[in-house]
Structure 1
Amino acid sequence: MRRVLAELALGVRLAFAGGRRGWLRTAMATLGVGIGAAGLLLAASVPTMLDGRQARTDARYDSPGGVTVPAGRTTILAGPDGQSGDNAIRARLLWPEAPGAPLPPGVPAFPGDHQMYVSPALRAALDGPDGDTLRRQMPYEIVGTIAPAGLSGPHEYAYYAGYQRATALVEQQVAWRVDRFGYPSLDVEAGAGGTYVIVAVLVATLLLPVAIFIGAALRFGGDSRDRRLAAIRLIGADSRAVLRMAIGESLVPAGLGLLLGLLFYLLIRGQVERFWLFDVSVYSADVRPVPSLAVLAVAVILGLSAGVTLLGFRGVTVEPLGVLRQAPTWRGRLWWRLIAPAASLLLLYPVLLGRENVGEARTGIGAVLLIVALIPLLPYVVPVVARLLPDGTASWQLASQQLRRNPSSSTRAVSGIVVAVAGAIALQSLFGAAEVERSIPYDKADPAFLLQARDRTSTDAMKQRSARFEQVSGVRAGTVALYTIYQKDIIGLANLYIGDCRSLSQLATLTGGCEPGDTFTAGSAEKVITIDKGEINPAPGVRLAVPAKARKATLIGSNAQGVASAVLMTTIPAQLARVEPGFVETRMFTDEKPAVVAGKLRGVAAEIDPLAMFTAMAPEGDRFGPLRVALNVGSTLILLMMAVGLLLDVAARLHERRRILGVLAAVGARDGTVIWSVLLQVIVPVAAGLSLAVGAGTGIGALLMRLSQVPVIFTAGTVLLPVAAGAGLVLITTVAVLLPAVRRVTRTEELRYE
């Protein structure tokens, strides 16, 4: 036992051997392990984060599930629509019907009429630069703050406002009664199409390079370490003793990295309330790793460390003399490198064929496998490229020999950049296509926004309502009254629209122009129509005769979907003077981007009726905004980390080949030959890797666009910018190390060897 401990202790000492280079190598390996450990611990905390958030959401759930609650010790609730940029607003108008009525969680007392309790995030937004615009959606006096128990997370926009008028809205089924909060939830929160696949690709893009960096960091100076262990093996140490020394050496960065990762985890935990993703935010108290997953994270780190050690140990055990003499050992095989791409294509082929209802778990695994496949393919592609390129200058011949002899060493530090670039191309292409989609409605004939309110109306009142919205710069609006036409045999919808010529022309193409008093029909409209007066079940009401001179019209946009017939009138018939329409609809068109005017239009809508339905026909917020920020920040950090690793890798390779370079200098080779030789050893792996990254990235990007139901659009910027960033980083880093070091490593003094 004492001998085993002594051998492990010797391995620990060897981790710091080599002076400053050894210390730096261990420090970088520790940093890589620390970052990976923090990421794994955060991943292990995701279940408790979501459980804590779900528990608070369930405690405030206020839908009785279609059951009518009788009046008593009850609270009346109404849910007005709300949105502020990318943030949905959870709004409740409430009023107690009796003493002892239930209070929502997080609210200390019922607010008075037109008073409200707001979430901290909403209060900050109201106090911010766009607070005046947001305030128009909720013209109530702030009297307090909702406690964390009543919020899903610290970034949620929510308010509870006292609204006495809600008592009159129960019969209209606009408001409802509750006798408690915390009803069984019937909702299953689900992401938009492709959301989980997008997140999986993002995680792979950011964490795979970290894992590669850990492996590369643990191999920094690996060739010299292998030769050192081979020398120990040659002087008589058995393979078990050498293995224990290697394990002892690898345990240093692994152990220190776990401690550093725990520190990073605690720092992130303290700042977690500042971040959110897809409207999901959590409190610091929610961030606790699941014990079993935390143990698994530690095991993964230690297993990776041991695996990297064993990968380099085989040569030390079997061919110690060859390792010491740096004999060629590359025996690349292709078949096993094709397993990952083949499995990926097998999983993704239904999506590629255009099939729907393909499981997101299957698609996510396939997309991640396609990114992972780049890692083993790159070391095989590089020597193939070097072999296919024709012989040329002396610098290329030197570089080509090294690339064929040891491609793993040449691609070790580049693999992480290739993975990061492939993921960045896929995600940035998706985000760019989504940005194009945000600028237009789903159907070009549709308005940007639609307001539907219940109210009796007149022609003048509808014109005034349109004018209120048109006070917002760049907005054109039209208002119509919508009545449902009664049908005995329901074959599609039948509607009556009443509005001025300008408003009607926004929802249909009118034949022969339009003048006040004109009537139009679309589809199979009858000569006499009956207005449906039923609230839930159809019921015949007022009968109207359609003028014989009515001209034809064609509904456009989403108005034509499912509508079998329609009648369009420019004046309100006398029979309908006291009949309330199903909805009074205002359509809003804009020359601006919808997100620019959305806040002001919502404010006008709330002033008209806080419970009216306001619908954004074009995406109002950037649903990928948080992911875009996460990708940009994460990619920057990843590339910086890769740059540091590349610096060390290039410096280590120059140090290990200093005697060869010294021989070249002694026989008359110019510095330019040496510089280009080293540069070509970097340029070829980068070019090969980025070519693979472009292919994989564009393929995954098209897949994500199809899953997210956005147009499949690629631009030069979304593809070339990540490629340029990766290539530029590699070249700048290599030149930064190479130019200052070239004269030092080509001195003939480097031929001395003891």
Structure 2
Amino acid sequence: MNTRQWARDLGLGARFAFTGGREGWIRTLLTAVGVGLGVALLLLTTAIPNVIAVRHERDEARLDYTYGPNRPKAADTLVISDANSTFHGSHVRGRLVEPEGPRAPIAPGLAKYPAPGDMVVSPALKELLGSPDGRLLRERLPYRITGTIGESGLIGSHELAYYAGAKDLAPRIDGWQTARIAKFGPLQQRAASRLDPVLLLLVLVVFVVLLMPVAVFIAAAVRFGGERRDRRLAALRLVGADSRSTRRIAAGEALGGSLVGLVFGTVFFLLGRQLAGSVEVLGVSVFPSYLNPAPALAALVAVTVPAAAVLVTLLALRGVVIEPLGVVRTAKPRRRRLWWRLLLPLGGLAMLAPMIGQGRESYFNEYLVLGGVLLLLVGVTTLLPWIVEAVVARLGHGSLAWQLAVRRLQLSSGSAARMVNGIAVAVAGAIAIQMLFAGVQGDYTKVTGQDTTRAQMQVSLPRGAPFTAVARKFAATKGVDKAVALGGADVGDRSWRGEGPATSTRITVGDCAALREVARLPSCHDGDVFVATGSEGVSDADTVKLAKPGRRLWLDTDFGVGQHPEVRWTVPGGLKRVRTITSPSGDEFGGFLLTPAAAPGRGTAAFSSSVYVSTDDSVRDVREYVRNTAARVDPLANVMLWSSTEESDKFTSIRTATFVGAICVLALIGISLLVSQLEQLRERRKLLSSLVAFGTRRRTLSMSVLWQTAVPIALGLLLASAVGLTLGTVLLQMVGATVSVDWASVLSMTGAGAAVVLTVTLLSLPPLLRMMRPEGLRTE
């Protein structure tokens, strides 16, 4: 067969897709919508690398390292302070700025810096501050809004960010939170860090799991209206077309629908691209301009989808005999064979087996991982039709609705399996991912040591803050049960400038209640001085060596900046020996413990201090009240919410991206299932109308439709659970993790899949009732 004959038959089929009357148009439209939804998600996937790259570039471009080298004031310098905050769980990026000359570097997204007392904000922050929900945040940011930050200065459309003008920031330069800079951006080019083997394995598995259901739905969409199409092809046999030509014509019809689907998919993608700028999912937002698919990947989608439509159609028609007088499909079909269907999942396991026990030290073979996971998930789509056929063939008697549903499933088990293939693949992949995430989560979670039973928040104050007075302000804050403050500084036997001291220890200052949080005190009065030993972080030998009454010591006021005068302190008499205990933050405070009356008079400038706050979580917005108090005390006060554990940023980012992708895939599944359900109902419109005309109750037919959906989805979810648990077990053995099953997660995954199908079925009931009307018997 030459290329010209192929092209002629494919072209003839494509014309049938658009000139086949009402039935042809409806089938083409349904195919185009189904394919278009899949294409839209594929285009979104091809745009993800660009999204990540642009967000990274913009975040790098606005970097303002406050721990860079110390530089003198000049015409091109800017003093900048980190004033980040959190509001109702959302990060607020804040900066206080003071340009020191006409050539001070301008932050990306700004035309000029605001004057002291003014601020420029991101559009999302401006909207929040103007709404009733932002009342508490408005109290925290007492600046006048004079402009907005441009898109080039933000990493997402919903990012909360501001730049506020300030003055007299230079004395607060500390090499940590406040610095003088001459440019924005990284201090030096940083080499891209590669993910460790386990995280890379997670990314590969997530990639296959999220895209596989899309491919399944595209393959199912090109087969919409297959039975009616095959009956039309029988007419072509009457006028002389051979069986091969009819198959090519059918492939051309699917090709026409898929080409329209590419157009629909592009339109859906462009609409979704605009919508993406107005939504935020799990704290992640983007600008529409970020979603630009890579040209090569977009071209690959444009070529692969039509080619897949032709291939799927040709494969589907191999088991259909199209004769001039009809289509041999209504007869009892030949039983499906099991042996070759088992080869795919077994082949997937064979590809993954060599990597079992490899552990976390070396990288996994990416091609074997992709191929193995792909074959296992494809195995779901090949096994499910056999399982559905085998089960429904043995279903017995029941109610009339049950018998109608079972008989329909026995006649067209393949169509029923195709409808739930996508949801089964998605659930199987989701279970495997959930098991892998749960199995390796402990490796990317560390214990912070923070005792959340003794305090729930910590406020770090700038050096020199009157922390004992500040603690009283926090104690008076609404919803705060207790607040204790501790200040500290290093102390040595000689000046910290030049070569520095030979022997040093630590000074901690706080009232008696605060000191009892870090040491066992027999008694305590203001003016007491204690020598605390037993700390792992402070040498007991150095502390004892320096703890001699009358000895003169130097406090570290330099911090690498060199702009504070030196402070000396004479060790008093009457020292009391005590033992340290673990503080609420998990640290041990050894060295000298001083009550406020015993602290050096000019030493407050040397102390870095923190307030440990215990809150009553039954008070609504208690955390925001604490943050507002901190902002009133000092705009640069850093408020931390305590947690007993802390996760790796990369692990958290991958999990967040997975959840965002899963939400998109579930949305696609729901919409595609609805389209598929409507297509199947349209195929049976005359049959349904006939049954109603002969007296069948509409309630009976509605229940039969529900049973026709429930039986395949139940079988599909059982198969998905088995495959998902198998894949998850293999992946856990590959990384050397303990194999365990979180049954709550497995049930939640299967429940989510069942909920999607149930929702789709309920949405299809109104069209079903309309199709039962007598008008459904009308024909052309």
Same fold (TM over 0.5): yes
Deviations 1:172-216 (A, max 9, x none): 664322223345454969999999988988887776544433322
> Is 1:41 matched up with 2:57?
no
Aligned residue for 2:455?
Answer: 447
Please show how residues 488-499 of structure 1 align to structure 2 within 5 Å.
496-499=507-510
| 1:571 to 1:339, Cα distance in 2 relative to 1, 3 A | same
What letter corresponds to residue 212 of structure 1 in structure 2? V
Deviations 1:600-643 (A, max 9, x none): 32222122222233222249999989987886686456324413
> Is 1:722 matched up with 2:752?
yes
Select which of 581, 584, 599 maps to 2:609. 584
Select which of 516, 520, 534 maps to 1:523. 534
> Is 1:84 matched up with 2:84?
no
| 1:406 to 1:263, Cα distance in 2 relative to 1, 3 A | closer
Deviations 1:117-166 (A, max 9, x none): 22222222221224332234433332222233333343332222222211
Q: 2: CA distance between counterparts of 1:194 and 1:277?
A: 25
> Is 1:337 matched up with 2:338?
no
Aligned residue for 1:411?
Answer: 417
> Is 1:151 matched up with 2:154?
yes
What letter corresponds to residue 314 of structure 2 in structure 1? L
> Is 1:128 matched up with 2:131?
yes
Q: 1: CA distance between counterparts of 2:29 and 2:714?
A: 30
Q: 1: CA distance between counterparts of 2:208 and 2:266?
A: 21
Please show how residues 45-444 of structure 1 align to structure 2 within 5 Å.
45-63=47-65, 66-73=68-75, 74-170=77-173, 174-183=177-186, 184=188, 186=190, 208-226=212-230, 228-229=232-233, 232=236, 236-277=240-281, 280-316=284-320, 323=328, 326-329=331-334, 330-332=336-338, 333-339=340-346, 342=349, 374-386=380-392, 407-420=413-426, 443-444=451-452
Contact kept in structure 1, 2:66 and 2:177, CA below 8 Å: no
Contact kept in structure 1, 2:674 and 2:764, CA below 8 Å: no
Contact kept in structure 2, 1:200 and 1:368, CA below 8 Å: no
| 1:573 to 1:341, Cα distance in 2 relative to 1, 3 A | farther
| 1:279 to 1:417, Cα distance in 2 relative to 1, 3 A | closer
> Is 1:476 matched up with 2:501?
no
Contact kept in structure 2, 1:425 and 1:722, CA below 8 Å: no
What letter corresponds to residue 411 of structure 1 in structure 2? A
> Is 1:572 matched up with 2:596?
yes
Q: 2: CA distance between counterparts of 1:120 and 1:187?
A: 33
Select which of 471, 488, 500 maps to 2:511. 500
What letter corresponds to residue 500 of structure 1 in structure 2? D
Q: 2: CA distance between counterparts of 1:429 and 1:595?
A: 35
Contact kept in structure 1, 2:233 and 2:322, CA below 8 Å: no
Q: 2: CA distance between counterparts of 1:185 and 1:82?
A: 28
| 1:723 to 1:466, Cα distance in 2 relative to 1, 3 A | farther
Task: Report the Cα offset of residue 427 of structure 1.
Answer: 9.1
Contact kept in structure 1, 2:140 and 2:631, CA below 8 Å: yes
Contact kept in structure 1, 2:713 and 2:754, CA below 8 Å: no
| 1:681 to 1:714, Cα distance in 2 relative to 1, 3 A | closer
Q: 1: CA distance between counterparts of 2:533 and 2:304?
A: 66
Task: Report the Cα offset of residue 480 of structure 1.
Answer: 1.6
Select which of 16, 25, 28 maps to 2:27. 25
Matched position secondary structure for 1:555: coil
Q: 1: CA distance between counterparts of 2:365 and 2:620?
A: 29
Contact kept in structure 2, 1:328 and 1:406, CA below 8 Å: no
> Is 1:533 matched up with 2:555?
yes
Aligned residue for 1:617?
Answer: 642
Deviations 1:20-49 (A, max 9, x none): 554333221111112222222333333444
What letter corresponds to residue 313 of structure 1 in structure 2? L
Matched position secondary structure for 1:92: strand
Task: Report the Cα offset of residue 292 of structure 1.
Answer: 1.6
Deviations 1:260-314 (A, max 9, x none): 2222223233343213456554433444333222211111221221122122132
| 1:204 to 1:477, Cα distance in 2 relative to 1, 3 A | farther
Question: TM-score, normalised on structure 1?
Answer: 0.76
Q: 2: CA distance between counterparts of 1:590 and 1:567?
A: 30
Structure 2 unaligned spans of 5+: 495-500, 547-552, 561-565
Contact kept in structure 1, 2:38 and 2:215, CA below 8 Å: yes
Contact kept in structure 2, 1:119 and 1:157, CA below 8 Å: yes
Q: 2: CA distance between counterparts of 1:504 and 1:688?
A: 64
Q: 2: CA distance between counterparts of 1:208 and 1:261?
A: 17
Deviations 1:66-89 (A, max 9, x none): 344343222222222222334323
Task: Report the Cα offset of residue 257 of structure 1.
Answer: 1.3
| 1:649 to 1:479, Cα distance in 2 relative to 1, 3 A | same
Q: 1: CA distance between counterparts of 2:525 and 2:166?
A: 43
Matched position secondary structure for 2:626: helix
Aligned residue for 2:581?
Answer: 554
> Mean alpha-carbon deviation: is it higher for 362-371 or for 298-307?
362-371
| 1:457 to 1:149, Cα distance in 2 relative to 1, 3 A | closer
Please show how residues 691-702 of structure 1 align to structure 2 within 5 Å.
691-694=718-721
Task: Report the Cα offset of residue 454 of structure 1.
Answer: 3.3
What letter corresponds to residue 278 of structure 2 in structure 1? R
Q: 1: CA distance between counterparts of 2:620 and 2:349?
A: 42
| 1:464 to 1:101, Cα distance in 2 relative to 1, 3 A | closer
Structure 1 unaligned spans of 5+: none
Please show how residues 626-665 of structure 1 align to structure 2 within 5 Å.
635=666, 638-649=669-680, 652=683
Aligned residue for 2:715?
Answer: 688
Task: Report the Cα offset of residue 253 of structure 1.
Answer: 1.2
Contact kept in structure 2, 1:233 and 1:316, CA below 8 Å: no
Over the aligned positions, Cα root-mean-square deviation in angstroms equals 5.5
Q: 2: CA distance between counterparts of 1:533 and 1:403?
A: 84
Percent identity of paired positions between Structure 1 and Structure 2 = 31
| 1:368 to 1:125, Cα distance in 2 relative to 1, 3 A | farther
Aligned length: 725
Deviations 1:673-699 (A, max 9, x none): 999887655433221112234556789
Question: TM-score, normalised on structure 2?
Answer: 0.74
Contact kept in structure 1, 2:392 and 2:410, CA below 8 Å: yes
What letter corresponds to residue 595 of structure 2 in structure 1? T
Q: 2: CA distance between counterparts of 1:651 and 1:692?
A: 29
Contact kept in structure 1, 2:462 and 2:636, CA below 8 Å: no
